[in-house]
Structure 1
Amino acid sequence: MGGARSSEQFVQSPNSTFFTEEELNKLKSEYKTGGLEKITPLLQKKVKELDSTEVNIAVTGESGAGKSTFINAMRELQDGDEGAAKTGTTETTMEPTGFPHPTLPNVCFWDLPGIGTKQFPANKYLREMKFKTYDFFIIISYCRFTENDLKLAKEIKRLGKNFYFVRSKIDGDLDSMKKQRKEFNEEEELEKIRNDCVSKLLEAGIPSPNVFLISSFDLNLYDFNLLNEALEDNLPDIKKSVFILALPNLNEEIVEKKRKELRKRVWMLATLSGVVGAVPVPGISLACDIAILVGGIIHFRKCLGLDDASIQRLANKAEKPVGVLKAVVKTPLVGEVTPDLITRGAWGVAVVTISALEIALDIIPVIGSIFGAGSSFLMTYKILSGALDELTENAQRVVKAAFGTDDHPSDTIPPTDHPS
């Protein structure tokens, strides 16, 4: 078949970041010596790793700093929602409490008790919080970073973990300043607050501190995007991907990031489909292809926030009727995903018209000569790619309807290869 390649012609690309160079080399050598039987378990193991990788985020600071409110905001929940962290002006957390992401439970935010309270004096706190459990720490303060915050930061650094200073409730500070001053420049005031925090942290011996100013009631404002970028940059590839997929859909940029991460999965799912497709057992190829397609589309939909529960949470956050958000969704892929939906109509036409030339080989990290009869690989790759683009375009429209952003999804999302 067209598109067959020798086992020497493996390609590594940005889409292969889930694999280390060592793992890619192993895929090459295993296929060279043992063919499909050898590489199939390696690919299955990697897909399973993607689905099971955990990200544990510790949110700490003194009582009343806004830890629980921040955790709820990151999970698109509001105070009083089912599963929301309990908020209050007094210490409400008596022990480390995990709050899984509502749709991606492998991502868990941990609300740690406030340091320096009677229940948790600083020396006891450092012993009992099991710091090694967490991937990174967010230290939240609503006014100034205290001596206890600095002790925390130094202990976290000693353990080799990353930490980030977040100055919360910044919207309240700015509102107060506006009322007290005749002349007010928001950008200048934000810079003053940031510089003041940084200078005090430097004086206390924290090298090169970064301080992020946020409002948990409006994460689209201030430094929230900068905070996310810092968190992403310091996570290993798989954890970084999992973290990005769990971000709240606050703007179209975040949705686009999710599309790029999900694109990296497409070729792996297509590869598994192609491996099965090369097995000469009547009927097994179609059955497995459909299962992979259905599972992939449902996963994409969930990560992009197009399930009913996610749209409802976004509507609550944006204070918009849920019907307004659902009205802009123009794809049958948000309903029940069945084999019939995938194979009928335009989807069926897409399947029979696929050729190897439709996929640029430089974006497929590992295919070798595996798919000499590669119809299963090409079919699955084509359909999942199209479904991902269609779902992303709809997720962009939902975000725009929720927050009234000015960007146009059509400017950033490639057109789908089939009608909605």
Structure 2
Amino acid sequence: MGNASSSQQAAQSETLSFFTQEELNKVKSEFETGGVENVQPLLEKKVKELDNTELNIAVTGDSGAGKSSFINAMRGLSKRDEGAAAVGTTETTMEPTGYPHPTLRYVRYWDLPGVGTTRFTAGSYLKEMQFKKYDFFIIVSAGRFRENDANLATEIKRLGKEFYFVRSKIDADLYSMKLEGGEFDEDAEMGKIRSDCVSKLGKAGIPDPNVFLISSFKKNMYDFPQFMEALADGLPSIKESVFILALPNTSVQIIWKKREVLEKRIWMLAIISAGVGAIPVPGLSAACNMEILIGAIIDFRKCLCLDDAALRILAERTGKSVEDLKAAAQSFLLGEITAPVIVRMGLGAVGVTVSAVESALYLIPVIGSLFGAGSSFLMTYSILSDALQLLVECAEKVLAVAKGAE
């Protein structure tokens, strides 16, 4: 019983993290004086804020380190895709260039010019790049650790910003070592490279730095999966949730993290549905707002990389067709989301138990009980929870197919 209580408290704490104390007090006051109808606009504002939260990620490092390829990998694109960062053997970035996420337009990766170019010396670089405007930094380095890498890390630390150090092109480094002949232990060689980076960053005054060895073309290998899971650490709660949703689906763990973020939004949408002039759903014993349900499920698909645009990019990369990927997912939720589709889901949600009601209501901060709003809240909550779980399962199946093809 104690473990269940601790789990509920943790879930409630995570849900509350979307709100400031002032916002929570406002929600409580409005609910006590006007009920759900007064709370609805406050939650609509919060959902809009979550959707429009800006996140600016700076990708910096020496010229030729592979920054553009890295940005494309983080956005799930190849250099041939529309909107991809230009990739070349010479310096292709001459000024900070922002690349928006394919579906989350307020998330932007900034490709900064190489610090080692003649146009930008180490002394002028830090000032001209306006470092303060970025939420966190990724230093991309290739080959041996350089003085510029240490200078960048030191300045970022001075600004009080989080940074991650990425040693790129590790696949090429390891391949070259193999060609030299003799005994070769990949894990041991990676350990030496990682230790060298950590040691030299330590000498520059950066204790316990985050160092990852990756290939932008092999996102399921080396340190790339661990890198993806570590990236959100250190961000404020709302920005952390936005960044998690912007990550490509490189592992089951990333998909699960996305589910956790989206679960926190469901109760807000359910209350909004309960407070709106709800549209009756034929064949159901409750009223739901169809626009909210359809919009939420389409949004879930985008965040889980299951929309047609994301599937087309994945199909190109893996040599599979979009139809093959959808067939592997085996879900009607990857087709057009219409009122009959919602009805189909709602019919399966009618038999919700009282314990499920209590579990859902427990996660609602301050308000306490919404039994007065009743059926509309519960039906929306149940339908969206079921839809999210089905889409998570779809994402896992598509990932398995992609890994098999790669």
Q: TM-score, normalised by structure 2?
A: 0.89
Q: Tell me if the contact between 2:278 and 2:287 (Cα under 8 Å) persists in the aligned partners.
A: no
Question: 1:331 offset after TM fit, Å?
Answer: 1.5
How far 1:77 sits from its partner (Å)?
Answer: 0.8
* Residue 175 (str. 1) matches residue 194 (str. 2): no
Deviation at 1:34, TM superposition (A): 4.3
After alignment, is 91-100 or 11-20 more displaced? 11-20
Query: How far has the Cα of 1:245 moved from its partner?
Result: 0.9
Gaps of 5+ in 2: 1-10, 280-285
Could you tell me which residue of structure 1 aligns to residue 241 of structure 2?
241
Note the C-alpha offset of 1:314.
1.5
Query: For residue 193 of structure 1, what is the amino acid of its counterpart?
Result: I
Residue of structure 1 in register with 2:164 after alignment: 164
Cα shift readout 1:71-119 (whole Å, capped 9, x = no counterpart): 0001111112111100111110011001111111211111000013111
CA distance in 1, matches of 2:327, 2:335: 14
Is the 1:56–1:133 Cα contact (8 Å) retained in structure 2? yes
Match of 2:230 in 1: 230
Instruction: Give the structure 1 partner of residue 356 of structure 2.
Output: 358
Check the 8 A contact 1:194/1:213 in 2, yes or no: yes
- Relative to structure 1, the CA distance from residue 39 to residue 58 in structure 2 (aligned partners, 3 Å threshold; closer, same or farther) is same
TM-score, length basis structure 1: 0.86
Determine the C-alpha separation between the residues in 1 that align with 2:155 and 2:371. Answer: 52
Which position in structure 1 is the counterpart of 2:8? none
Q: Do 2:278 and 2:289's aligned partners in 1 also have CA atoms closer than 8 Å?
A: no
Unaligned runs of 5+ in 1: 1-10, 280-285, 406-420
Match of 1:106 in 2: 106
Question: 8 Å contact 1:278–1:374 — kept in the other structure?
Answer: no
More divergent stretch after superposition (262-271 vs 39-48): 39-48
Inter-partner Cα distance in structure 1 for 2:105 and 2:148 = 31
1:356 Cα deviation after fit: 4.3
8 Å contact kept, 2:170–2:214: yes
**CA RMSD, 1 decimal:** 2.3
Residue 180 of structure 2 aligns to which amino acid in structure 1?
A: Q
User: CA–CA distance in 1 between the matches of 2:346 and 2:138?
Assistant: 48
Moved more, 102-111 or 148-157: 148-157
Give the C-alpha shift of residue 153 in structure 1.
Answer: 1.8
Structure of greater relative contact order (alpha carbons < 8 Å, 6+ residues apart): 1
1:329 aligns with 2:329: yes
Contact 1:277 1:375 in 2 (8 A): no
How many residues align structurally? 388
Give distance in 1, aligned partners of 2:208 and 2:350: 57
* Residue matched to 2:187: 187
Moved more, 254-263 or 353-362: 353-362
Residue of structure 1 equivalent to 2:137: 137
CA displacement at 1:371 relative to structure 2: 3.6
CA distance in 1: counterparts of 2:373 and 2:138, whole angstroms? 50
The alpha-carbon deviation at position 293 of structure 1 amounts to 0.2
Contact 1:355/1:378 (8 A) holds in 2: no
CA distance in 2, matches of 1:334, 1:48: 25
Corresponding position of 2:308: 308
Query: Residues 65 and 168 of structure 2 are in contact (CA less than 8 Å); yes or no, is this contact kept in structure 1?
Result: yes
- Matched with 1:43 is 43
- Aligned residue in 2 for 1:153: 153
Deviates more, 1:18-27 or 1:393-402: 18-27
- Give the counterpart letter for 2:399 in structure 1: V
Q: Percent identity?
A: 62
How many Å apart are 1:219 and its aligned residue?
A: 1.5
Distance in 1, matches of 2:104 and 2:278, equals: 33
Cα distance in 1, alignment partners of residues 140 and 315 from structure 2: 27
Distance 1:138 1:155 in 2: 13
Alpha-carbon distance between aligned partners in 2 of 1:287 and 1:368, rounded to the nearest angstrom: 21
Structure 2 CA distance for partners of 1:377 and 1:37, relative to 1, 3 Å: closer
Closer, same or farther in 2 for the Cα pair 1:278/1:367, shift >3 Å? farther
Q: Deviations over 1:32-72 (max 9, x none)?
A: 24433542232111111111001111000011000000000
Hey, what does 1:269 align to over in structure 2?
Answer: 269
One-letter amino acid of the counterpart of residue 114, structure 2 = G
Q: After the TM superposition, which residues 207-222 of structure 1 pair with which residues of structure 2 at under 5 Å, given as runs? A: 207-222=207-222
Shift of 1:170: 0.4
Which residue pairs with 2:4 in the alignment?
none
| Corresponding letter in the other structure for 1:358 | A
**Residues 167, 212 of structure 1: 8 Å contact kept:** yes
Q: 1:348 to 1:321 in 2, by over 3 A?
A: closer
Change (3 A) 1:189 1:165: same
Q: Residue type of the partner of 1:306?
A: L
3-state SS in 2 of match to 1:341: helix
Partner SS state of residue 305, structure 1: coil
Deviation at 1:16, TM superposition (A): 3.4
- Shift, 1:294, TM fit: 0.5
Aligned position for 2:391: 391
**Residues 283-294 of structure 1 mapped to structure 2, 5 A cutoff:** 289-294=289-294
| Local SS of the residue matching 1:326 | helix
Q: Please state whether the residue corresponding to 1:12 is helix, strand or coil.
A: helix
| Deviation (angstroms), 1:122 | 1.8
Describe how 1:49-68 pairs up with structure 2 within 5 A. Answer: 49-68=49-68
Aligned counterparts of 1:247 and 1:38: Cα–Cα separation in 2: 35
Matched residues in 2 for 1:54 and 1:61: separation? 23
Output the amino acid matched with 2:204: A
